[in-house]
Amino acid sequence: EKGQTPYEALGGEAVLTKLIDTFYGYVSEHPDIAPLFPEDFTETKRKQIQFLTQFLGGPTLYSDEHGHPMLRARHMPFVIKDTQAKAWLECMEEAMEQTNITGPIREYMLERLRMTSYHMVNSQD
């Protein structure tokens, strides 16, 4: 359909929620990044759904509640090297596969997330 946002192309809230639930399941089991996260992913998931909703052109849920994302600054408390960016992306790719996100929306999201992920790198391997 013409004039769709990526958020709509993905399938909106239902698909994004499923993707993010699946994603943090993989994150919680990935040895390179799991130790960085709190034991309870409830709040992390909630914020990530808010962020990705607006990142994909949906409602500005994240900024409405938390202000400017400043994602790189918000990640500075954590040591993030290329290894961690790669691990994050691996978990996202697996989650997309598991959630049956395919085709142009998959490629579009992975390309933008790859850039964002490496933008978070704040230490050298």
Q: Please report whether residue 46 would count as binding ligand HEM according to CB under 6 A.
A: no
Look up tokens 């040591």; give the residue: 79
Smallest distance from ligand HEM to CB 4, Å: 20
Helix, strand and coil in the chain, % to nearest 5: 65, 0, 35
Task: By CB under 6 A, name the one of 63, 71, 82, 107 that touches ligand HEM.
Answer: 71
Smallest distance from ligand HEM to CB 122, Å: 9
Of 5-13, 16-24, 43-51, 96-104, the segment contacting ligand HEM by CB under 6 A is 43-51
Smallest distance from ligand HEM to CB 2, Å: 26
Distance between CA 61 and CA 54 in Å, rounded?
6
Say how many C-beta atoms besides its own lie within 10 A of residue 25's C-beta.
14
Q: Please report whether residue 61 would count as binding ligand HEM according to CB under 6 A.
A: no
Q: Please report whether residue 80 would count as binding ligand HEM according to CB under 6 A.
A: yes
Say how many C-beta atoms besides its own lie within 10 A of residue 45's C-beta.
16
Q: Please report whether residue 33 would count as binding ligand HEM according to CB under 6 A.
A: yes
Distance of CA 117 to the CA centre of its chain: 9
Q: Identify the DSSP state of 58.
A: S
Q: Please report whether residue 122 would count as binding ligand HEM according to CB under 6 A.
A: no
Q: What residues contact residue 6 under an 8 Å CB cut-off, 6+ apart?
A: 56, 57, 105, 108, 109
Residue ranges that bind ligand HEM, judged by CB under 6 A: 33, 36-38, 43-44, 47-48, 51, 66, 71, 74-75, 78, 80, 84-85, 88, 113, 116-117, 120
